[in-house]
Amino acid sequence: MKRFLLKISSIILLTPLLTLTSCSSFSLAKPTDWNGDFWLKDLRDYDDLADFNKVKDTSPPSFGAPRFTYYNKKYGNDPNIDSIVFYYFTHEIVGPSDVKYLLYGINITDETINLYGLSLKSSLEEFKDTFISFGFEIIEEEGNYIELERELFNVKYTLNEKITLRYDFDYDFDDVY
């Protein structure tokens, strides 16, 4: 009987752990050819942003989590928005007094930036095929534009103009703020 109770209590204790680890929670891995500064879901300290200019506070007035837009100072103080990378951060509270910046979005108009063998010079087909191979589904495709999504990740590409990557943190971090 004691052995039976031990097995039952082990199953009860391990079930939540097994459930969490067996859930398919996709994460868009940082590309090996990525030559940008940060990647989606990076947690950074304020000091990590020392070489970046803050564009503006992009927090919607009704949303509690502050959102900030930064770009690398290498683009200058008055950057050409047709050739730049913008990084979108919000706060994540890690501990009682430990605030990190969570990267939830990247907007690329710099054609020298690479990811997964793609750049702004890539065709729509190359872009679409690459992200479909990662399990993304097409949300919208029209003319020179395509939008794909998988779980909390969204990718948009406008041929020769812009790549936008987004991690929809609102789902994961509602209870943090």
What are the tokens at 9?
A: 């209590």
Q: Where along the chain do its domains lie?
A: 33-176
* pLDDT at residue number 57: 62
* pLDDT at residue number 77: 86
Separation between Cα atoms, residue 126 and residue 121, nearest integer Å: 10
Q: CA of 89: how far to CAs of 7, 40, 66, 73, 104, in Å?
A: 46, 10, 8, 16, 6
* pLDDT at residue number 64: 59
Radius of gyration of the CA atoms of the chain, in A: 20
Q: Give the bridge partners for 9, in sequence order.
A: none
Q: Helical H runs in 45-154?
A: 124-133
Cβ neighbours for 61, distance < 8 A, ≥ 6 positions apart? none
Q: CA of 158: how far to CAs of 8, 42, 73, 119, in Å?
A: 55, 25, 25, 11
3-state secondary structure of 128: helix
Q: How many Cβ atoms are within 10 Å of 72's Cβ, its own excluded?
A: 19
Mean pLDDT of successive 10-residue segments in the chain (177 residues)? 40 33 69 95 90 75 70 89 91 76 93 96 96 97 96 95 86 34
* pLDDT at residue number 46: 85
